Amino acid sequence: MIHETAQIHPSAVIEEGVKIGANVTVGPFTYIGKDVEIGDGTEVMSHVVIKGPTVIGQDNRIFPFAIIGEECQDKKYNGEATRLVVGDRNVIRESVQMHRGTVQDKGVTTVGSDNLFCVNVHIAHDCVVGDNIIMGNNATLAGHVTVEDYAIVSALSPVHQFCTVGAHSFIGGGSIVVQDVPPFVMAQGNHAKPFGINIEGLKRRGFEKPELHAIRRAYKEIYRSGKTLAEVKPVLEEMAQEFPSIGLFVKLFENSTRGIIR
């Protein structure tokens, strides 16, 4: 079903069963396969490929040569009807790839809202990408990666499968991430190592001084106290009672399967 206000270029190929919302534009030479749903106000530019099952929300901008909802690059994939779900107001630049999930995991790759994905970003199968995230040119997520809200993954930085990039963290350009990056932490290098707290980013997002001081104390407990994570955890749990943001550290430690960067 194509809404009457949608503008579809005559050279675009739209398969049967596609749902296209109000005021959507589809540019020339774009292909949209069956089982695709595109929300109101989304702009799909020229030479884009969108395959399903895929759901794309409202007011997204998808630039030329992006490939959205293609089958994943996993040898275990055998044509199952896995999905990709994309939120609202994302900017998806040229040649970005977002792949559907696998039945061996959640069966769905999930991308949130208000994100910027720069040229040639790759989001592999079963990733969970939050909101307000920036991924620079050629940043790459392997399968099963989680990127939490407000994180920044700079250009040319790959993230190993099953890793988590914590909320409000910052990964410098050209870094290789093979373990979890805790929330609020700046990381850089091959392999990525911690280099303090992302203070400037937190200030821009309205964090007040008492909370910033608490996050710094938590960082020192984790990285400079000489304690194990098991010894640090109860300290952070107590701090989280006054400053809920510290609870993000605790949550990451509880769910981590690859350990944190050191």
Please list the active-site residues: 125-126, 143
Angstrom distance (rounded) from CA 113 to CA 132? 7
Single-letter code of the amino acid located at 144: H
**CA–CA separation, 99 vs 149, rounded Å?**
20
- Other beta carbons within 10 Å of 222: 21
CB 193 within 8 A of CB 187: yes
DSSP structure class, residue 245: G
Residue pair 175/155 in contact by the 8 Å Cβ criterion: no
For residue 202, the SS3 value is helix
What is the C-alpha to C-alpha distance for residues 254 and 105, in angstroms, rounded to an integer? 19
What is the spatial distance between Cα 197 and Cα 182, in angstroms, rounded to a whole number? 10
Sign (positive/negative) of CA torsion 81, 137, 181, 239?
Answer: negative
Nearest to 113 by CA among 52, 58, 68, 153: 58
Q: Which two tokens stand for residue 249?
A: 């550290």
Tell me, what amino acid is at 175? S
